[in-house]
Amino acid sequence: MDIVYIRDLRIDTIIGIYDWEREVRQTVSIDLEMASDIRKAAETDDIQYALNYKAVSKRLIAYVENRNALLVETLAEEIAQVIRTEFNVPWLRLRLSKPGAIRGARDVGLIIERGAKPGALPE
C-alpha cells in the first residue's frame, strides 16, 4: 500500500457548539493519509494516474470553509466521505484538530480511519 499525505492543512471555518464559536472563524488543522497505488503514475510520469494532492487540498478548503459544523466529529466524517467518494480513495486516516481550543494544550481533536486498508502491493 502506498500513501499520499497532506500535513497541517489549515483552514478557517465556523466550528463549535458555544455561541461565541458561532460568531468567529477558527482555524482547523487537517492531516490526511490516503491509500493510493502510485506505480502507474511513477511509470508514466503523468499526473492523470496520480492522486492529486493539490486537487484534494483545494476541495477540502472549499468544503470546510463553507461548512459551519457544530462538532469536529461531524466535520471529520464528512471530510472522509468527500475524499473517499470524489477521489476514489479506498482507505484514509484523518487527523482533525482545533489548535488553541483548550488553554494549556497546543491542540485538541480526533483521528479517524475509514475504508478498507489495502494489503501490500505486489512488487
Active site residues: 98
Residue linked to cell 472549499? 62
Q: Let me know: does 97 contact 46? Beta carbons within 8 Å.
A: no
- Please report, in angstroms and rounded to a whole number, the separation of the first and last CA atoms in the chain: 11
Residue linked to cell 486516516? 93
Look at residues 106, 85, 105, 84 and name the one whose alpha carbon lies nearest to residue 94.
84
The single-letter code of the amino acid at 117 is K
**DSSP state at residue 87:** T
Q: Name 99's bridge partners.
A: 107
